[in-house]
Homo-oligomer: A and B are copies of this chain.
Amino acid sequence: MKTKERIISAALLLFNEQGEANVTTNHIAAHLGISPGNLYYHFRNKNDIIHCIFLQYRDHLRNSFTPIKGPASPAVWVHYLDAIFYVMWEFRFFYANLNDILRRDSELHSQYLAVQQELTVNLQLLLRELNRQCVLVIPDNEIDELTEVLKMLVSFWVSYQSAQSLNPQISQSVLYKGVSRILLVLKPYFHPKQGSELTQLMAHYQTLAAKPSDPFHK
């Protein structure tokens, strides 16, 4: 890995583990055993690094939430729900402090809004396609609002969980609980013929949510 990539990856690790506000560029350099000067050769400041991490976030959202092409199998559901888990886990420092990070960097905020807009369109297309395949039965005029509720659940699940405890630990099981809540909100819209599939999906994510936290396998 090149130094620039190593810096981004170390920053992401430290932000997630210690909270972005508690990590300086000096901490990142020390973690990598490089000089601050070497880090500053690649990045002007911490925000610069956050911008690069944001591009990874954007790519993940772009690649993982494109509408399906073929028939919606259980594997398709697992793909999307795992992608929701992944984005919440991999970028949890961002979700833990979303409004602060956006407020202090209007360029990043603009980019965030553009990505959210793309994501919204993709999610709406996805729900419409699942409707068309009779997997879901969502009244047409509710798709946009339901998309918003789902986006909100994902965007603020980490913050919600942080408010719910004096010593919040954003573990994987906490985030799988978030995925379960997404399924709960969608459950009433599953076509009756999807009953057993839905039950299995819910059981799968409830099991993951009940698990004590393991070190994450990358």
Binding site for B on A (CB under 8 A): 96-100, 102, 106, 109-110, 112-113, 116, 142, 145-146, 148-149, 152-153, 155-157, 159-160, 162-166, 180-181, 184-185, 187-189
A80 CB, nearest partner CB in chain B, Å: 19
Q: If the complex has contacts A113-B164, A164-B113, are A99 and B159 also in contact, measured as CB distance less than 8 A?
A: yes
Tell me which of B113, B155, B162 contacts A99 (CB under 8 A). B162
Q: Which residue of B lies closest to A145 (CB)?
A: B184
User: A113 and B156: CB pair below 8 A?
Assistant: no
Q: If the complex has contacts A145-B180, A152-B153, A153-B149, are A99 and B163 also in contact, measured as CB distance less than 8 A?
A: yes
Please report whether the interface of chain A is mostly helix, strand, loop or mixed according to DSSP: helix
A105 CB, nearest partner CB in chain B, Å: 11
Contacts of A164 in B (CB 8 A): 113, 116
User: B153 and A184: CB pair below 8 A?
Assistant: no
Q: List 22 A-B contacts (CB under 8 A).
A: A96-B99, A97-B99, A98-B159, A99-B159, A99-B162, A100-B100, A102-B163, A106-B166, A109-B166, A112-B163, A113-B166, A142-B187, A145-B180, A145-B181, A145-B184, A149-B184, A152-B153, A152-B156, A152-B157, A152-B160, A156-B156, A185-B185
Known: A113-B164, A152-B153, A156-B160. 19 other contacts (CB 8 A): A98-B159, A98-B163, A99-B162, A99-B163, A100-B100, A109-B166, A112-B163, A113-B165, A116-B164, A142-B187, A146-B184, A148-B181, A149-B153, A149-B184, A149-B185, A152-B160, A155-B163, A159-B159, A185-B185
A70 CB, nearest partner CB in chain B, Å: 28
A137 CB, nearest partner CB in chain B, Å: 10
Contacts of A184 in B (CB 8 A): 142, 145-146, 149
Q: Which residue of B lies closest to A19 (CB)?
A: B103
